[in-house]
Structure 1
């Protein structure tokens, strides 16, 4: 995760010109005389005293010879002063950027240990930039505008783009803590077959085992509890050309939703652009890549021929028939319920929802 402590940084620094002026007065040397001894113009010395010109290495050596004060000391004073000015400029810029910071769920990020607790708006901006690993708001904007974000499902909810970006960053940091093998598409397909069987294993152990299987194939699987105003179930993206990421939020709190989200995001990894970020949760997009990912996930979990035979039996409103079919397919019964509901064959409030398992991630 991001650093949570910094060394002490005083909010003041002595300009080298002040020190020079004091030394000249103490030695009874005028600025003109000092300039002559250093082989410099009076204006140059005046500019240093006024803070308009920096003390560079050559100048520091000249001061050392004339005043007997080490060149290292002069350079150290100069360095600290210029750094202080830069910090002041950044602080002013950060204060002016407070509106940007207000878009993020700062309190929740502090609660999770992603940000330090700070008081001023400027400090919050600095904390957020450090969290995102960028040097400026402009860099953050470029980073977030260069990815194509695809959304699907749950049109009744509206996500805040800042909260969404923060959630994706949390997932990225979580993935960074995993040790992965090189990505292997064939190995990932084999891993997904084993993950499919894990849908009948008790949570959260099933996801822990799924994470291991994915890591062996070079895919980072993480789960990060959703942030306020970030209404999403999962996301898929490539962190590098050889490192795909699948992130789950557990938003809906049931096993069928979590498993479907995992396989939906897996479809994006297998089938779609490495340059895009795919987010599951914002709008009901049933076209293009999202429709393809939906279809792939549904048919990977329940092959279409088996599904058609099950529907033809016309017993899909029976708990026994659903449980039997799920056992035959080696998947969780909740997945069958979820597909029936998605296809409009079963009410979202059906009594058969009791076959689903409640899950809380994070």
Structure 2
């Protein structure tokens, strides 16, 4: 068979060294019994090499004996053996990859290659190998073992359906990115302090300014913050889990691309880190009409998981806007843009965060004051727009 991506020939068969040995003996009209006497090997062992179709291997010791008896270098026999074993392994791998092609069809390869997570291959088996490398697994079977159940505490609309493979790919990309962030060992008190230092960053509008500061301050406390675009059929906005007991990950997708959703999700995930188990995976998903904060449906979650989500929501609300101050502001009943801006300045946060909380609590229509929110775009989206409209 020919590998088109690498333009090289890969044989779809394997020649056992015993076949070559049998051929050489026939050329010399040498019975196996004679070779046994010349080498000191038993005739049974010679027969095992010749007739076992590779189940009996040629060891370095045997290769030396064959070199002396037949005049063919030991390296020749050892290379035959090595090439045969490699060919057998590749043929077995070929069959295993065939079985994994059905699984590959469920992987969002097109989106992952578009985002630069994977190289693109025309050959399906080569593409499967790249996907397996991405997940860090040997075969599709291992995916089932690594991601047996994406059972998590999550905020999800009842009509939203998760694609487990797409979700796992998004989470895996977060793991890979987090590995490149050098973190100090996790320190709960240091992370609590880091959150106080991060809060003023919510008033910043330029991600190029606040993202490195956010990541740096959290990394100093043992938490890697990564931004990974959401894949289709995931609906994810954020996730929290631990790489190991000394390093946590907060993963954000910018699904709704506004500062109120971004910062609420960040502090919600931070709440999970401070309040809940290191063994848990918390995945936050919301549909396009949902708002941040509590009060969102939780299908399929037990009461304990609901409690954890409520605790994380309450933590995020308090961290962003102290609830006593918010209650006093909310008691006005009417909210002008000027009033929202003034309150935000007094609290040291972005006006869009105040708008988001007012909208969530039903105090402000979702159609009002959205221009006070800051919107974000991924770099790859800007590049795609530029490619479609070069004059823009």
- 1:80 shift after superposition: 2.0
Match of 1:301 in 2: 320
1:214-253 equivalent positions in 2, closer than 5 A: 214-253=218-257
DSSP-derived class of the 1:276 partner: coil
Q: State the secondary structure of the residue aligned to 1:340.
A: helix
Aligned to 2:76: 73
Give CA-to-partner distance per residue, 1:106-151, whole Å, 9 cap, x none: 1122233332322343333322211111223332222212774222
1:164 aligns with 2:167: yes
1:51-62 alignment runs, 5 A limit: 51=53, 52-62=55-65
Partner of 1:11: 11
Q: Which stretch has the larger CA shift, 64-73 or 301-310? A: 64-73
Residue 85 of structure 1: which of 82, 88, 94 is its match? 88
Q: How does 1:284-295 map to 2 (within 5 A)?
A: 284-285=297-298, 287-295=306-314
Counterpart residue number, 2:37: 36
Deviations 1:250-285 (A, max 9, x none): 010111101111111111111111111111105833
User: Displacement, 1:164?
Assistant: 0.4
C-alpha spacing 1:299/1:90, structure 2 compared with 1 (3 Å): same
Structure 1: gaps spanning 5 or more residues: none
In structure 1, what is the Cα distance between the partners aligned to 2:74 and 2:327? 84
Using the size of structure 2 for normalisation, the TM-score is 0.84
Question: Match for residue 353 of structure 2?
Answer: 335
RMSD: 2.3
2:370 pairs with 349, 353, 356, which one? 353
Matched, 1:118 2:131: no
Note closer, same or farther for the CA distance 1:6–1:174 as it changes in structure 2 (3 Å cut).
Answer: farther
What is the distance in 2 between the residues matched to 1:340 and 1:306?
Answer: 13
Per the alignment, do residues 273 and 180 of structure 1 end up closer, same or farther by CA in structure 2, a change over 3 Å counting?
A: same
Q: In 2 relative to 1, CA 9–130 (structure 1 residues): closer, same or farther, beyond 3 Å?
A: farther
What corresponds to 1:326 in structure 2?
Answer: 344
Q: Does 1:193 align with 2:196?
A: yes
Deviation (angstroms), 1:79: 1.9
Separation in structure 2 between the aligned mates of residue 6 and residue 32 of structure 1, nearest angstrom: 46
Instruction: Report the TM-score, using the length of structure 1 for normalisation.
Output: 0.90
Per the alignment, do residues 8 and 269 of structure 1 end up closer, same or farther by CA in structure 2, a change over 3 Å counting? farther
Distance change in 2, residues 1:123/1:308 (3 Å): same
1:153 deviates by: 3.6
CA distance in 1, matches of 2:100, 2:240: 30
Q: Deviations over 1:226-269 (max 9, x none)?
A: 11222111111101110100111101011110111111111111
> Bigger shift: 203-212 or 292-301?
203-212
Q: Distance in 1 between matches of 2:9 and 2:238?
A: 40
CA distance in 2, matches of 1:6, 1:310: 65
Mapping for residues 132-143 of structure 1, pairs under 5 Å? 132-143=135-146
- Structure 1 match to 2:330: 311
Structure 2: state its 5+ residue gaps: 287-295, 299-304, 380-392
1:75-129, Cα deviation, whole Å (9 max, x unpaired): 2321221121111111111112211111111112223333232234333332221
The size of the alignment, in residue pairs, is 356
